[in-house]
Structure 1
Amino acid sequence: MKKVRGLILLLILLYTGLLAGCWNQRELSQLSMVTAIGIDKASKDKEYRVSLQVINPSAVAGGQGQGGGEQISPITVYTGTGSTISTAIYKTSQKMPREPLFTHVQLIIIGESFAKRGIQDLFDVFERSPQARLTSSVLVTKGNDAKSIISTISPSEKIPVNAIVGKAKVTKSLWSENIKVTIDEVIKDLVSKENGLVISGITFIGNHKSKEGTSTKLSDILKIQGMALFKDGKLVRWLAGSDARGVMWIKNKMESTIYDLDCKEKKYGISVKNSTSKTNVTVTVKNEKPIFSIHALTEGTINEVKCDIDLSDPKEVKKLETQWGDQIKNEIIAAIDVAQRENSDIYGFGKIINRTEPEKWKKIKKRWGKTFAESQINVKVDAFIRQTGMRINPYLLQE
């Protein structure tokens, strides 16, 4: 019995040794951590230019400098070109001292000129890669190339990509003229017969310079601005200002923003900030012609007053609510008009028909772009001012 137990123990130890082997391990010192990828149109037709933003660990961790106090750049940008994304990425190895690691990529930036050519086949490589994160954000450059954007050093963040992702998040939650889109969401919209596609834009403020293998100086400021509207996978136009804000209302992604209203004889005398917002879209289909009804509901707070209005008077508050609701309604109508003129259902109205009227959807889905453009869309907005801030009447109001 003892011999049998000893033999079993010996076998367990042997198999444990085989299972515990790390045959494919790679040390961190042998890898370059990629945090952002830029994709542009190369000089040769139908070729890709891929730029990788790579972290310099010594600059991020330690800090101060190298060789006589010289400041170390927190990033290095390497580029490669090829007929596929994979080829372009692997060709960067000719310039990189370490193997690239893509598990920490937070952002994919697409150059404007490339987006106009079409992004239909761009994301296959990310969906197949075991290292890719499909939750990485996607942006489109406006007036620049992607390489210049990811080569920019931020004055507020050690790792530049954190600054870009942070700006996109902050401006979405506070101003609501841009939308967060991830790789998996882009793929779903590209393959869908029901949805169009919008992606937020990013651009420079001021001059910029960049060189391959280096980073820009600390003089560039990046701004999240506008939305790129795609049709059949190609960038066809930009949405900005109230049109972009209208998109957020329709897609039920409005978080927070400011509206300036006229007060008495003073133009833009009052600012209102919305605190809660919700949009509901319903549809009925008659004779293969859909009729959509959009109902937006919002509540807000008086943020600033520059006129002598009596906010304790319900009639005055009601006038402001009506004016505010009309502004929102006009933005929604304008955003619908833009999408209908481009025959691009960026709001997913076709998806609503498919979900609620699947049999009727089958009859109209093949010509959905044109049908969407001709659809009747009714808009209703209910706006309510619930609070006036820390005081009711402004100090300008005379007793």
Structure 2
Amino acid sequence: MKRILLFLICMLLSSCSNYRELNNLAAIISVGVDKGKEDGYRVTFQVVNPGQLTKTGGNSPGLPLINYPVEGETLNDAYRKSSSIIPREIITSHLSLLIIGEEQAREGIYPLLDSFERAKQTRSSVLVFIARGMSAEEVLEVVEPIESNPTKSIISTTENNKKLYGIGDLIPVYELVSMFSSEGKAPIITGISHSKPKEGDRQSQNLEKMTPSVIEVDGIGIFKDDRLVRWIDGEQARIAQMILSESKSTTFPFSCSRIDSGSNKEKLTLTTRGISSTLTTKVKNSEILLTIDIVLPADISDFNCNMDLEDPKTIERIEKTFEDEVKSQINQVMETVQKEQTDVFGFGEKLSKSDPKYWEKHKKEWDDLFSKASFSININSKISNTGMRTNTFKMK
């Protein structure tokens, strides 16, 4: 017991061997990678300005973050070169975001992911986004009034979108590496852009506007191998996440005329909760059949139709309309990905487990087989709640 007590006292009295002053460090929290002027990359390192994180702002003028753009032949080369312009010891242990410019994403992202996987200090949980229609450097230049940290703004906005509408998703480096390493599944990555072009030379001008430029979730990028091949937006992007069971909740508005009677101006809205999907791939008589089964629990969140919700047949008609609409949208998404010959839903991965012999023989031609495969869609919708009331108060 005395030995243990003596040991603890020594530990408390001894100094930390790896202790470093915050004012001597440059903590990189985001990295933006764009295509370089020649064969390399233009890398933007976003560094915390610690003097601006205090309540008073300290004696350090300017914004809470500083961007350092550097050209390099490789990502690690750019990182080393950044030491010529960053005046403090560089650390990457707080890095949480990787943004890849669209131009670079269309040329390939394998080398970038490899660099992140090899780095000792960098965590593989770093989240990956694609800067849509602009450079990653431009995305990291936006400073918003509510959230002055672009990294936090991008992550929080995507989380909100995933919870409430279902387009955005948070994809870490290790998950992308797993997809690229496995067989039969291509990735999709959330797109990020500005709501409007940046005006003026000073980033702080955005803080002075009633309607500032803000970062927004802008569709999802479909990849083939490691290259971005196209974007899908709106309903198709949302449906793609539903197929992957990544959409937490979303809304489907309908005109009352589609269900029973009334004008197109009269609408109802269904809000989904707890969406789940099951994907299967089978080979029968040398033909490939893809099956998508989706369970769609839903609540009625808006209702301006002249229909009786206390009548079970009314609920059945609404559910049928809902199922038909979702099935139609899934058809559109499947036609899109089959046209691009990229299996972003992992049907090939399912086949590799259910029929490994067939997969081993045909995996090199899977993209072509996937594009020609037939598919069936089964939707099971169940409306379980009409909100705080049943029929609308204006119903005659």
Alignment TM-score, normalising by the size of structure 1? 0.89
* C-alpha distance 288-178 of structure 1, shift in aligned 2 (>3 A): farther
On the 8 A contact 2:281/2:348 being kept in 1, the answer is no
CA deviations 1:205-228 (Å, max 9, x no partner) are 12215879x777434211111001
TM superposition shift of 1:158: 4.3
2:89 is matched with 99
Choose which of 348, 351, 363 in structure 2 pairs with 1:350.
Answer: 348
Choose which of 247, 263, 272 in structure 2 pairs with 1:266.
Answer: 263
CA deviations 1:50-105 (Å, max 9, x no partner) are 101111111112334758xxx63011000111110011111111111112211111
* C-alpha distance 323-291 of structure 1, shift in aligned 2 (>3 A): same
1:377 is matched with 375
Choose which of 154, 157, 166 in structure 1 pairs with 2:144.
Answer: 154
Distance in 1 (alpha carbons) for counterparts of 2:213 and 2:184:
39
Distance in 1 (alpha carbons) for counterparts of 2:234 and 2:35:
28
* C-alpha distance 179-210 of structure 1, shift in aligned 2 (>3 A): farther
Supply the AA of the counterpart residue of 1:378. Answer: S
Distance in 1 (alpha carbons) for counterparts of 2:59 and 2:201:
21
TM superposition shift of 1:321: 0.5
SS at match of 1:266: coil
* C-alpha distance 363-210 of structure 1, shift in aligned 2 (>3 A): farther
Greater mean alpha carbon deviation, residues 55-64 or residues 320-329: 55-64
Supply the AA of the counterpart residue of 2:254. Answer: L
TM superposition shift of 1:32: 0.9
Choose which of 378, 385, 388 in structure 2 pairs with 1:387.
Answer: 385
Task: From the CA coordinates, give the structure whose radius of gyration is larger.
Answer: 1
Gaps of 5+ in 2: none
Distance in 2 (alpha carbons) for counterparts of 1:246 and 1:30:
48
Q: Is 1:319 paired with 2:317?
A: yes
2:47 is matched with 54
Counterparts of 1:47-86 in structure 2, within 5 Å, are: 47-64=40-57, 72-86=62-76
TM superposition shift of 1:293: 1.3
Distance in 2 (alpha carbons) for counterparts of 1:207 and 1:21:
50
CA deviations 1:317-338 (Å, max 9, x no partner) are 1111111111111121111111
Distance in 2 (alpha carbons) for counterparts of 1:96 and 1:210:
25
On the 8 A contact 1:208/1:216 being kept in 2, the answer is no
2:334 is matched with 336
Supply the AA of the counterpart residue of 2:385. Answer: Q
Gaps of 5+ in 1: 1-8
SS at match of 2:110: coil
On the 8 A contact 1:229/1:236 being kept in 2, the answer is yes
On the 8 A contact 2:33/2:44 being kept in 1, the answer is yes
Q: Is 1:36 paired with 2:49?
A: no
The number of equivalent residue pairs is 379
CA deviations 1:195-247 (Å, max 9, x no partner) are 111100011112215879x7774342111110011112111110101111121
TM superposition shift of 1:178: 2.2
Distance in 1 (alpha carbons) for counterparts of 2:321 and 2:34:
44
* C-alpha distance 288-105 of structure 1, shift in aligned 2 (>3 A): farther
* C-alpha distance 363-327 of structure 1, shift in aligned 2 (>3 A): same
2:300 is matched with 302
CA deviations 1:281-326 (Å, max 9, x no partner) are 1222124432121111111111011222211111111111111111
On the 8 A contact 1:152/1:215 being kept in 2, the answer is no
On the 8 A contact 2:155/2:170 being kept in 1, the answer is no
Supply the AA of the counterpart residue of 2:234. Answer: G
SS at match of 2:190: strand
1:119 is matched with 109
Distance in 2 (alpha carbons) for counterparts of 1:83 and 1:72:
31
CA deviations 1:334-362 (Å, max 9, x no partner) are 11111110110000111101111111111
On the 8 A contact 2:75/2:115 being kept in 1, the answer is yes
* C-alpha distance 350-215 of structure 1, shift in aligned 2 (>3 A): farther
SS at match of 2:31: strand
1:256 is matched with 249
On the 8 A contact 1:151/1:210 being kept in 2, the answer is no
Counterparts of 1:122-201 in structure 2, within 5 Å, are: 122-201=112-191
Q: Is 1:27 paired with 2:21?
A: yes
Supply the AA of the counterpart residue of 1:350. Answer: G
On the 8 A contact 2:32/2:136 being kept in 1, the answer is yes
Percent identity, please. Answer: 29
SS at match of 2:175: helix
Supply the AA of the counterpart residue of 2:28. Answer: V
SS at match of 1:122: helix
* C-alpha distance 327-93 of structure 1, shift in aligned 2 (>3 A): same
On the 8 A contact 1:51/1:80 being kept in 2, the answer is yes
Distance in 1 (alpha carbons) for counterparts of 2:298 and 2:190:
26
On the 8 A contact 2:295/2:380 being kept in 1, the answer is yes
* C-alpha distance 158-313 of structure 1, shift in aligned 2 (>3 A): same
TM superposition shift of 1:26: 3.7
